[in-house]
Structure 1
Amino acid sequence: MSKPDSKLDKYAQRDRLGLWGTGDNEVVGSLSGFTRLLDKRYSKGLAFTHEERQQLGIHGMLPYVVREPSEQVEHCRALLARLDQDLDKYMYLISLSERNERLFYNVLSSDIAYMMPLVYTPTVGLACQRYSLIHQNAKGMFISIKDKGHIYDVLKNWPETDVRAIVVTDGERILGLGDLGANGMGIPVGKLSLYTALAGIKPSQCLPITLDVGTNTESILEDPLYIGLRERRATGDLYDEFIDEFMHACVRRFGQNCLIQFEDFANANAFRLLSKYRDSFCTFNDDIQGTASVAVAGLLASLKIKKTQLKDNTLLFLGAGEAALGIANLCLMAMKVEGLTEEEAKARIWLVDSRGVITRDRPKGGLTEHKLHFAQLHEPIDTLAEAVRKVRPNVLIGAAAQGGAFNQEILELMADINETPIIFALSNPTSKAECTAEEAYTYTKGRCIFASGSPFAPVTYNNKKFYPGQGNNSYIFPGVALGVLCAGMLNIPEQVFLVAAERLAELVSKDDLAKGSLYPPLSSIVSCSMAIAERIVEYAYKNGLATVRPEPVNKLAFIKAQMYDLDYPRSVPATYKM
């Protein structure tokens, strides 16, 4: 190697040869300046300083201006404001995440309340419906049933080895939209964006996966743009063997403490797979357990207003699928903690499915094992309205994706029975919500305590302004994941989700409750995630579930030290001088 003519030449030569380091301690194998310009993980865009541009050999590849990160965020916000359709905003943000990773997360963090609905519910539902049309960049992994027998080899193709968190779907029950097949990839991508934005889990440690086992939706199979496998869904032993191979391949590739979050599987598969893997893998199902946790947190917060305990209330659910049964099971656990026996707690939990109230001897049948767990000894009740009249619930929870099911009659009945009825319309997306916030406050004459799964604008009724809380799983799953990963937990007991619910309810202030919100402001959700993670880490060490040693004395400081840094890293060695 010839002697360079100047320090700049020396730096450029180091870069071309892949030699980096401090002083004379050079290390082989780092990135070229051009790669840093184009690689989403290292790119700074116009935030590269003139010195960095010269030292990295990218001078002239960018316009002259150097922008501060805050100016970049404002520029992105201005571009978003020019777009009228939420789907276009979603596509812009996803594109930004592929160009400049840190800028993307800084934009999300600049206004969580505004940005979160654009990258997740409700916009992600529309994005999934049109995913084949809008798909542009490689994002995550698609593992098809055709890969059965070779899943580990497929996972080896993923360039990152330190994967800590996987969100996986098979696309069969995307939100309330049904079987979208490979188009369901928008869900794992969106969830993991929130892992980073809301809990600081490093993007390089996150892997979205779609298990493509086909789809039974005719319109998708006939779509000429469809990106997935054009076959009917695999079922039975073939499906189970495929899932089992996937689970073991993940552990073999990424380790036993790699968190695997199941998302939007059909009801029967969701419960079955959770039961099968929960004790031997680090796994949870967000539709069952995350939804349950955020709903119970809202209930616990609402009871601060009513000054009662959960055990003092009767709960009526519209729906008996993953979400409703998950919430019911966690309510059962919470009531037992409050002193009830299991049978006493079950007597306070009623569920309505498509065939009416779930009772032990109902003539219409349709009772699965999970529904039978909450079957009441009562004469048949066929409709929701009849159930409200006969059961006389204090709490009405919608989790059946039946838009408008809480109609004027139902809401007025709840107001007749209760001075302060609790109404939760939790179904997503917005079109599937059982009622709107305006309908809830109007038909209960402003007396209800309301929460929803999708965001609703503030409502003014009788000169009082209400700010409905959004019972979004995003309050729970990022913090749970952060706590589990920081403690190195190898499995996730159900108690973790009650711990998370109780901690979230504690974070709801008197001011939040006074204005009608059962959850902290979305702007504080990162702090919520850290608080939940801290409580879970404490729980893990107290119960012998943590594998990270030694136990950190200051757990919150330990958690913060693991989190993703939104600031751009230095692009050149700090000790090198021009």
Structure 2
Amino acid sequence: MLDAGLNRPARNGAEILRDPRLNKISAFSEDEREQLGLLGLVPEGIDSEDQQIARVRMQLSRKTSALGKYIYLTSLLDNNETLFFRVLMSDPAAYMPIVYTPTVGEACQKFGHILRRPRGLYLSANRRGRIRDILRNWPEPDVRFIVVTDGERILGLGDLGANGMGIPIGKLALYTACAGVPPQVTLPIVLDVGTNNQELLDDPLYLGLRQPRLRGAEYDEMIEEFVMAVQDVFPRCCIQFEDFANINSIPILARYRDRVCCYNDDIQGTAAVAVAGIFGALRILDAKMAEQTFLFLGAGSAGTGIADLLVKTMMQEGVSEAEARQRCWFVDSKGLVVASRTELADFKKPYAHEHPPVPDFLQAIEELRPTAIIGVSTIAKAFNQDVIEAMARINERPIVFPYSNPTSRSECTAEEAYTWSDGRAIFAAGSPFAPVELNGQTLVPGQGNNVYIFPAVGMAVYATEAERVTDEMFIVAARAVAEQVSAETLATGLIYPPMADILKSSLQVAKRVADYIFDVELARIERPANVDELIEASVYQPRYRSLI
């Protein structure tokens, strides 16, 4: 007898209870209890799946902190994978902030303090030369998605070393919950190359390498070994690079994007969700992309990635590359990014325009008169009252996107943006904010969360077995997200689809991206007669299966 859907020999009752893919806790049938040796190992009562969900919700309601809820749900994932995803998918708007941003930031900071059971793979700098063998320790032979981080730039929190594992775990949970990618084909990985965070090095409960970060040629060689080992061990796998510092994220993406199936969510996913938000805002304004001027606070990989995708989008609409780039401006820690500055990193130079130096963001708004400001600085409250009032004075409907995560690093809150603009701001943030009552109107802030993009792109890549991931796929995804926002939803100020409908939304986006993958001949399978049916048939369903 084989485990249902897992193609491996069945085990005894105690072993089944220890396997999160098989464990049903209190929902085993009477026949399963008799035949699998479970009698006495579980309580006599038999729960329906709905009863189990009710029990989970009750236990969550008794947790007094978001971190406590995170720990409980993580333990549920380790114990009963089906129930975990059934709970997540029952109300994604309620549970995503617990399993991912903003709670995952605190979970990463305290990762070594709250660890219950290791999950994923830890590839240490001490194990260089052996990465291929370590990948083979993973029990699933057909991994299709790896989310990997080296922990150096976790959200807006900086270097968290091996504690960054919380990010790949959370991201991959969203692949499944938001787009139906089967969890058994996903693998979270940390490249433990050390940490320069002295607080972690001094923490007796820190679980990573206690040494400074690997740099230079040795670091590059480890990345190369990892990427090539994945090609050997998991040849149909897509690698998502996550939360690498700018000094590494941009070169890594440039080095591998045309060699293997990979992408960087901080660069391309963030860019796509921002472009989707701009498309939504333009529907409210009844305006064109090429008529906008974008001013970014923060000139790292996320900001320049958004600008790069905006440029490609405008070029698709007939604007020249030079003109499109002239629509994108940046302010970093030294002021406006202009051509006369000599210390600029290479990735900033395409946006270093001819203009006199400007020392700060507010003055840049006054001189450039942007229609949209986009925050990717991780500087809390940087969009202060003067900034928002200036944008509202210049624009009838200013676009205000404070995208930095977690919530504690957001450039402003929804209430601040709406209040200081007298309710006229078109607002979306990287973290969730509650609706705001102002002047007798309920304003619903959007969350420009990458979750609208990367799970859907992931499902399309999974279903088509795509050879590569391209920027154009993300533009297709951004357009598909924006098109799903109804006129009624736009009237409330919300420029993204409701989070409660994320699975439905993601599957529609996945279908569009899959169509594109077949159109440009990047799929490794033949195009089926019906691409929509291919996507629907690929979706994971969190339902118990008979084990007998």
1:558 is the counterpart of 2:537: no
One-letter identity of the residue aligned with 2:34: Q
CA gap of 1:317–1:248, structure 2 versus 1, over 3 A, is same
1:256-302 alpha-carbon deviations (Å, 9 max, x no partner)? x3010000000120000000000011000000000000010000010
User: Counterpart amino acid of 1:166?
Assistant: I
1:555, distance to aligned residue in structure 2 (A)? 1.2
Kindly indicate whether the alpha-carbon contact (under 8 Å) linking 1:170 and 1:184 is maintained by their aligned counterparts in 2.
yes
Q: Choose which of 126, 137, 150 in structure 2 pairs with 1:157.
A: 137
Structure 1 window deviating more from structure 2 (100-109 vs 554-563): it is 554-563
1:183 aligns to 2:163 (yes or no): yes
Q: In 2 relative to 1, CA 283–446 (structure 1 residues): closer, same or farther, beyond 3 Å? A: same
* Counterpart selection for 2:299 from 320, 329, 354: 320
Q: Which runs of 5+ in 2 are unaligned?
A: none
CA–CA distance in structure 1, aligned partners of residues 535 and 11 of structure 2: 29
Q: TM-score, normalised by structure 2?
A: 0.98
8 Å contact kept, 2:181–2:462? no
Equivalence map 1:490-505=2 (5 Å): 490-505=467-482
Q: Counterpart of 2:494?
A: 517
Q: Counterpart of 2:105?
A: 125
Question: Would you say the 8 A contact 1:34–1:56 is kept in 2?
Answer: no
Alpha-carbon distance between aligned partners in 2 of 1:528 and 1:147, rounded to the nearest angstrom: 41
Residue 442 of structure 2 aligns to a residue whose secondary structure is strand
Task: State the 1:238 CA deviation.
Answer: 0.2
- For 1:175 and 1:21, locate their aligned partners in 2 and report how far apart those are by CA, in whole Å: 39
SS in 1 for 2:255: helix
Contact 2:3 2:10 in 1 (8 A): no
Cα distance in 2 between the residues matched to 1:408 and 1:528: 35
**Residue pair 1:287, 1:323 contacting (<8 A) in 2 also:** yes
Distance in 2, Cα, partners of 1:286 & 1:106: 25
In structure 1, C-alpha distance between the alignment counterparts of 2:28 and 2:472, rounded to whole Å:
47
Matched, 1:568 2:531: no
- The TM-score with structure 1 as length reference comes to 0.93
Q: Are positions 1:476 and 2:476 aligned together?
A: no
Amino acid at match of 1:224: P
| CA distance 1:21–1:544, shift in 2 (3 Å) | closer
Report matched runs for 1:92-491 at 5 Å. Answer: 92-255=72-235, 257-362=236-341, 365-491=342-468
**Per the alignment, in what secondary structure is the counterpart of residue 380 of structure 2?**
coil
State how far apart, in whole Å, the 2-side matches of 1:366 and 1:526 are.
45
CA gap of 1:20–1:188, structure 2 versus 1, over 3 A, is: closer
The residue type equivalent to 1:446 in the other structure is G
Indicate the SS of the match to 2:296.
Answer: strand
Instruction: Give 1:461 deviation, angstroms.
Output: 1.0
Query: Are 1:398 and 1:434, in contact at CA under 8 Å, matched by a contact in 2?
Result: yes
1:495, 1:374 → 2: CA distance? Answer: 21
Deviations 1:211-232 (Å, cap 9, x if unpaired)? 0000001111111100000000
Identity %: 48
User: Secondary structure of 2:351's partner?
Assistant: coil
| Counterpart amino acid of residue 390 in structure 1 | E
Question: By how many angstroms is 1:20 displaced?
Answer: 5.2
CA distance in 1, matches of 2:40, 2:25: 13
What's the secondary structure of 1:47's corresponding residue?
Answer: coil
SS of match in other structure, 2:26: helix
1:6 equivalent in structure 2? none
- Structure 2 contact 153–243 (Cα < 8 Å) conserved: yes
**Which letter does structure 2 place at the counterpart of 1:385?**
L
Secondary structure of the corresponding residue to residue 45 of structure 1:
coil
Give the letter for the 2:414 counterpart: A
Matched residue SS, 1:423 = strand
Please tell me whether the aligned partners of residues 71 and 114 of structure 2 are also in contact (alpha carbons under 8 angstroms): yes
**Per-residue deviation, residues 99-131 of structure 1 (Å, max 9, x unmatched):** 110000011112111100000000000000000
* Per-residue CA distance 1:57-114 (angstroms, 9 max, x = gap): 2112111111000110010000000001000000000000011100000111121111
Q: Per-residue deviation at 1:243?
A: 0.4
Name the structure 2 match of 1:16.
none
CA drift of 1:537 comes to: 1.0
> Offset of 1:138 from its aligned partner?
1.4
**Compared with structure 1, are the counterparts of its residues 157 and 328 closer, same or farther at alpha carbon in structure 2 (3 Å cutoff)?**
same
The whole-number CA distance in structure 2 between the counterparts of 1:111 and 1:241 is: 43
Contact 2:457/2:510, CA 8 A, preserved across alignment? yes
Query: What is the rounded CA distance, in whole Å, between the counterparts of 2:331 and 2:304 in structure 1?
Result: 11
In 1: Cα distance, 2:68 partner to 2:406 partner:
18
Q: Distance in 2 between matches of 1:521 and 1:278?
A: 32
- Kindly provide the CA deviation profile for residues 450-509 of structure 1, in whole angstroms up to 9, marking residues without a partner as x: 000000011011111101010000110000011011111111111111011011010111
Residues 5-52 of structure 1: CA deviation (Å, up to 9, x unaligned): xxxxxxxxxxxxxx4599xxxx98333333223211011111111122
In structure 2, how many angstroms separate the alpha carbons of the residues matched to 1:481 and 1:372? 31
Alpha-carbon distance in structure 2 between the residues aligned to 1:61 and 1:212 = 39
Cα distance between partner residues in 2 of 1:524 and 1:354: 38
- Relative to structure 1, is the Cα distance of residues 167 and 28 closer, same or farther in structure 2, using a 3 angstrom cutoff? closer
After superposition, the Cα gap between the structure-2 partners of 1:404 and 1:28, relative to the gap in structure 1 and judged at 3 Å, is closer
User: Which range moved further: 28-37 or 474-483?
Assistant: 28-37
| Structure 2 equivalent of residue 47 of structure 1 | 27
Aligned residues of 1:46 and 1:67 also touching (Cα < 8 A) = yes
Contact kept, 8 Å, 1:216 with 1:233, in 2: the verdict is yes
CA distance in 2, matches of 1:504, 1:180: 32
Change beyond 3 A, Cα 1:508–1:96: same
Rounded to whole Å, the distance in 1 between the matches of 2:9 and 2:412 is: 57
In structure 1, C-alpha distance between the alignment counterparts of 2:48 and 2:18, rounded to whole Å: 19
8 Å CA contact 2:3, 2:9 repeated in 1:
no
How much has 1:571 moved relative to structure 2? Answer: 1.5
Structure 1: how far apart are the matches of 2:524 and 2:305? Answer: 28
Asked whether the 8 Å contact 1:315–1:394 carries over to 2, the reply is yes
Q: Identify which of 47, 52, 57 aligns with 1:67.
A: 47
